[in-house]
Amino acid sequence: MNRYDRMFERLEEAGEGAFIPFVTLGDPTPEVSLEVVSCLVEAGADALELGIPFSDPIADGPTIQRATRRALDAGTTPGTCWELLAEVRKRHPEVPIGLLVYANLVVQGSVEQFYERAAEAGVDSVLVADVPTLEAEAFAKVARSKGVCPVMIATPNASREKLETVARLGAGYTYVVTRSGVTGAEVDADTTRSEVLDTLARLDAPASVVGFGISRPEQVRAALEAAAAGAISGSAVVRRIEEHRGDREAMLEALSRFVSEMKAATRPLA
């Protein structure tokens, strides 16, 4: 049983869903980034989704693109990120850690080497954002061989064939995209119960976690009511870093408040 399995089992017993924040490693600086991640966990994050900054983040909206630029400008490299990840794992031994990356980063050295480094750093899952579903098998096979869960993306217009592939290849959780386009809190998520969620459940896919446009507690609650197991919020989290990047204490306070409010929405109503 991996960390995701244990997390979802614990949450199901408590009648809760998962809240998973996303941030870019190294934003606004590598040192502060480590504090940010610890703040997220201490505020109630059930798992973490972390990005390695990449010069051409095609699936990301403007908020996360700016975070990527801040991290790169602060000197963040893939090597820096592996060090940060190892420290996060040391500080938070039971929290599932996911990476969201682009294929160029995975294949820079070799695919095997990338997943080996991920496993050594304590990473539980990797989502390769720009690899089409029907071409993901090679990545998933190597990931599993290194003990890393390959997270698959299910899009709103996915065919039955694609969803079958998602269910077959995926592990840890399934990232269910609530709308088309790039990431960002500027456009609301559609968290109504969808045929995609129903089909994934029938196919016994890994737990469905919805993302893209999740920025308010009521959206988290709606996602859970639509039969998702949790929700991911990225741009809304990163925006708090951006707004308070000149004041570390204010930044951490804003992040803590936001995560606490979003996590509260995963709990049963009193």
Output b/e per residue, 159-188; b: 16+ Cβ within 10 A.
eeebbbbbbebbbbbbbbbbeeebbbbebe
Give the separation between CA 238 and CA 261, rounded to whole angstroms: 16
Of 16, 46, 60, 124, catalytic? 60
Given a contact cutoff of 8 angstroms between Cβ atoms, the answer to whether 195 and 159 are in contact is: no
Catalytic site residue 87? Answer: no
Given a contact cutoff of 8 angstroms between Cβ atoms, the answer to whether 146 and 171 are in contact is: no
C-alpha angle 77/81/37, rounded to 5°?
130
Q: What are phi and psi of 55, to 5 degrees?
A: -70, -20
Q: Where are the beta strands (DSSP E) in 97-255?
A: 97-101, 125-128, 149-150, 152-154, 174-177, 208-211, 230-233
Residues sharing a CB contact under 8 Å with residue 23, sequence separation 6 or more, in sequence order = 33, 36, 37, 40, 50, 51, 67, 234, 237, 238, 241
Selection from 218, 237, 189 nearest residue 48 by Cα: 237
Of 16, 49, 124, 190, catalytic? 49
Give the separation between CA 15 and CA 35, rounded to whole angstroms: 30
Catalytic site residue 60? Answer: yes
The residues annotated with a catalytic role in the active site are 49, 60
